[in-house]
């Protein structure tokens, strides 16, 4: 079986059968509840891990199904709106029942006033049997980017969802304003696609396809 690579990045699964196996492994994760939710949202939302683990309840708009990350927490220092699929909203509702009275969606295990450990998702992946060369926490971004591009989604919408910097300031403003509706459709389609892959119980090679993370 061939492997896929991306220059200057870390490892991520990109072959659909392997992604399906990963999603089943996440669903069956027997560790800490908040970590399992973080794993699931990493796959569904493919935000940067620092953005995910530092998420605050004040940023979650349950009425409009959006997560609005303030500019000061974004790598590019621009506010980022993440459309939330039905599946993501269900997870946030489950989490709210556990941590809704606290500041952080994912509070630390020891200090509840601080966010969860930066190594939580990577450590969970290792416990699930994924070595560093196969999948990392950051790899969920590469996984989504690769498969969404292969499925023919607008590359600008994908880049906007990944919150990548736009070199042209005018184009950046345009993309921010114009791609939200398309990103809503894309994020729901992505969540449905992951559910579909998770439901396909097809044996996966012990040597899964992977690519290096570039996002």
Residue 104 falls in the annotated catalytic set: no
Domains of the chain by start residue, with CATH: 11-203 (1.10.443.10)
Give the pLDDT score at 200: 84
Q: List pLDDT tens digits, range 153-168.
A: 999 999 999 988 664 5
The verdict on whether 176 is a catalytic residue reads no
Q: Mean pLDDT over residues 16-33, rounded?
A: 96
* List 68, 75, 77, 132, catalytic entry: 75
Q: Kindly tell me if the per-residue pLDDT of 27 is higher than 60.
A: yes
The per-residue DSSP string of 129-170 comes to T--TTT--TTHHHHHHHHHHHHTT--HHHHHHHTT---SSHH
Q: Is it the case that residue 211 has pLDDT exceeding 90?
A: no
Which residue in the list 4, 17, 126, 164 is annotated as catalytic? 164
pLDDT at 49: 95
92/178: higher pLDDT: 92
Give CA–CA dist 196/166, Å, rounded: 32
Catalytic residue list contains 75: yes
């Amino acid at each position: 079986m061939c492997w896929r690579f991306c220059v200057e990045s870390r490892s991520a699964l990109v072959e659909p059968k392997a992604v399906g196996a990963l999603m089943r492994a996440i669903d069956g994760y027997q560790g800490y509840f908040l970590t399992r939710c973080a794993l699931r949202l990493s796959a569904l939302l493919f935000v940067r891990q620092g953005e995910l683990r530092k998420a605050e309840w004040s940023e979650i708009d349950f009425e409009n199904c959006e997560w609005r990350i303030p500019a000061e927490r974004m790598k590019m220092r621009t506010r980022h709106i993440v459309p939330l699929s039905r599946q993501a909203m269900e997870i946030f509702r489950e989490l709210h029942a556990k941590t809704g009275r606290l500041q952080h969606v994912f509070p630390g295990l020891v200090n509840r006033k601080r966010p969860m450990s930066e190594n939580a998702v990577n450590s969970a992946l290792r416990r699930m049997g994924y070595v560093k060369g196969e999948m990392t926490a950051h790899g969920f971004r590469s996984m989504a980017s690769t498969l969404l591009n292969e499925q023919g989604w607008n590359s600008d919408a994908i880049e906007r969802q990944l919150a990548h910097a736009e070199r042209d300031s005018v184009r950046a403003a345009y993309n921010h304003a114009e791609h939200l509706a398309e990103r809503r459709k894309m994020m729901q389609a992505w969540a449905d696609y992951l559910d579909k892959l998770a439901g396909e119980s097809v044996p996966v090679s012990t040597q899964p396809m992977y690519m290096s993370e570039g996002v």
